[in-house]
């Protein structure tokens, strides 16, 4: 690394990377990886052979990210858009906590928290996702609560598949309440599976990301992977299984109690939900809220929370969630004033 003076008299940082093959992966197809770093971090990057020249107010932070990405490639790990986004998010989290620069670089280049499955390796991208992933690995009962797009269900499915592959559980059971999201769909034709499939599609999508199609079909046929509505859990004892309840905000208090008491020997449970997207009929209380209140502080149960800053979908999703949260806060203030008046 050497400091040089750019023509516009802004301090720039020169980075030299010796391996041509790794350099190609660092730059990305048609420079896509460098463009992503430029866009997110607000820097300018000039690519000349094996040299990158980084300029801008956050050039030093971008230097750490680029060095970490190159170190990742040296370790034989993949660099893609998700990995870049994750490194930059974690850098921001470390900065917010007042971490030293050296600690940040060590954190970037050090051993990653990875969940390996048949088709891909999943890595958490934010500090909240890291804490949630560790909780899923360490606890028998884990709650993931937060807005859409924060990876709650996706990470839980990845951990479930990894534990199934490792032989730690014999089955994966995925369930969610069959509640319509604000509109009546009417009668659905076909078999039982045809009727419930539209509600379960997000769970199929996650499984397909981590297991080959033929293997998944075989496992479903053998009932080693089950996807069913929450109502079908009544009366069962779920032993040696990894059980995931998705969209838990739409479970009633009685359904939540029923589900939690299905936990059998050798099993783990993950419950995910978003308190702002309750689709239950007016006057019906969400079982997720009740569970938070009743089970807080119970040993062996982990509650993990996400915010809009943890959204890993399109950047606009985080802005949309933040805007709605601000509107909800404004309405609460108005209601309080009207009540006091």
Give the pLDDT confidence of 59-95 residue by residue, as tens digits: 888 898 999 899 888 888 888 887 788 778 776 655 5
State yes or no: pLDDT of 5 exceeds 80.
Answer: no
**More confidently predicted of 194 and 285:** 285
What pLDDT is recorded for position 314? 65
Model confidence band, residue 315 (pLDDT cutoffs 50, 70, 90): low
pTM for the model? 0.75
Residue ranges of the alpha helices (H) in the chain? 20-27, 32-41, 59-74, 81-96, 101-109, 127-138, 152-165, 192-210, 213-221, 253-260, 287-295, 315-340
What's the rounded mean pLDDT across residues 204-218? 92
Q: What is the mean pLDDT of residues 26-55?
A: 90
pLDDT of residue 201: 81
Question: What is the pLDDT at residue 149?
Answer: 86
- Say how far apart CA 202 and CA 246 lie, in whole Å: 9
Residue-wise pLDDT tens digits, 244-256: 999 999 999 999 9
Grouping H, G, I as helix, E, B as strand and the rest as coil, residue 54 is strand
Quote the pLDDT of residue 196: 66
Do the Cβ atoms of 287 and 256 come closer than 8 Å? yes
In this predicted structure, the answer to whether residue 182 has a pLDDT above a threshold of 50 is no
> How does residue 108 score in pLDDT terms, banded at 50, 70 and 90?
very low
Please give the pLDDT value at position 323: 83
Predicted confidence (pLDDT) at residue 274 exceeds the cutoff of 90: yes
152-to-37, 61, 64, 125 alpha-carbon distances in Å: 25, 28, 28, 12
Across-strand partners of 53? 14, 46
pLDDT at 103 over 50: no
Query: Distance between CA 112 and CA 68 in Å, rounded?
Result: 12
Q: Are 91 and 104 in contact (CB under 8 A)?
A: yes
Dihedral pair phi/psi, residue 303, rounded to 5°: -105, 125
Placement of tokens 């509107």 in the chain:
327
Confidence category of residue 309, pLDDT binned at 50, 70, 90? confident
Q: What is the DSSP string of 240-260?
A: SEEEEE-SGGGSBHHHHHHHH
Let me know the angle formed at the C-alpha of 180 by 153 and 328, rounded to the nearest 5 degrees: 75
Whether the per-residue pLDDT at 101 is higher than 60: the answer is no
- For residue 122, the cross-strand partners are 115
Residue range 209-229: mean pLDDT, rounded = 92
Under the banding of pLDDT at 50, 70 and 90, the label for residue 178 is confident
Q: pLDDT value at position 82?
A: 77
Residue 277's alpha-carbon distances to 182, 205, 229, 319, in angstroms, are 10, 20, 18, 17
Domains of the chain (ranges; CATH) run: 2-112 (3.30.1370.10), 116-310 (3.40.50.300)
- For the ranges 95-99, 113-117, 246-250, 295-299, the lowest mean pLDDT is seen at 95-99
**Residues 122-142: tens digit of each pLDDT:** 888 888 999 999 999 999 999
For the chain, what is the mean pLDDT? 83
Number of other residues whose CB lies within 10 A of the CB of residue 147: 23
């Amino acid at each position: 690394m050497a400091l040089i003076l750019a023509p516009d008299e802004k301090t720039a940082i020169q980075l030299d990377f010796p391996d041509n093959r790794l350099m190609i992966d660092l730059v990305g197809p048609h420079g896509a990886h460098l463009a992503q770093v430029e866009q997110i971090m607000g820097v300018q990057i000039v690519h000349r052979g094996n040299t990158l020249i980084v300029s801008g107010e956050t050039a030093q932070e971008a230097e750490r990210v680029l060095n970490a990405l190159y170190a990742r490639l040296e370790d034989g790990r993949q660099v893609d858009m998700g990995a870049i986004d994750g490194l930059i998010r974690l850098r921001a989290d470390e900065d917010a906590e007042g971490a030293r620069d050296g600690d940040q670089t060590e954190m970037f280049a050090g051993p990653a928290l990875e969940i390996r499955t048949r088709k891909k390796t999943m890595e958490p991208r934010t500090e909240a996702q890291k804490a949630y992933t560790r909780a899923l690995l360490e606890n028998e009962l884990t709650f993931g609560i937060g807005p859409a797009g924060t990876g709650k269900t996706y990470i839980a499915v990845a951990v479930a598949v990894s534990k199934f592959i490792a032989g730690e559980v014999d089955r994966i059971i995925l369930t969610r309440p069959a509640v319509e999201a604000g509109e009546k769909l009417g009668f659905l034709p076909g078999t039982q599976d045809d009727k419930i499939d539209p509600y379960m599609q997000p769970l199929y999508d996650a499984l397909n990301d981590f297991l080959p199609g033929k293997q998944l079909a075989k496992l479903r046929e053998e009932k080693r992977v089950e996807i069913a509505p929450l109502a079908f859990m009544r009366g069962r004892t779920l032993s040696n299984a990894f059980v995931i309840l998705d969209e838990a905000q739409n479970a009633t208090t009685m359904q939540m109690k029923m589900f939690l008491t299905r936990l059998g020997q050798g099993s783990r449970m993950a419950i995910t939900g978003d308190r702002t997207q309750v689709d239950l009929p007016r006057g019906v209380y969400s079982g997720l809220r009740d569970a938070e209140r009743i089970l807080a502080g119970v040993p062996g149960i982990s509650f993990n929370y996400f915010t809009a800053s943890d959204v890993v979908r399109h950047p606009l999703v985080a802005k949309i969630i933040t805007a709605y949260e601000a509107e909800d806060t404004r309405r609460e203030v108005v209601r309080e004033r009207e009540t006091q008046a």
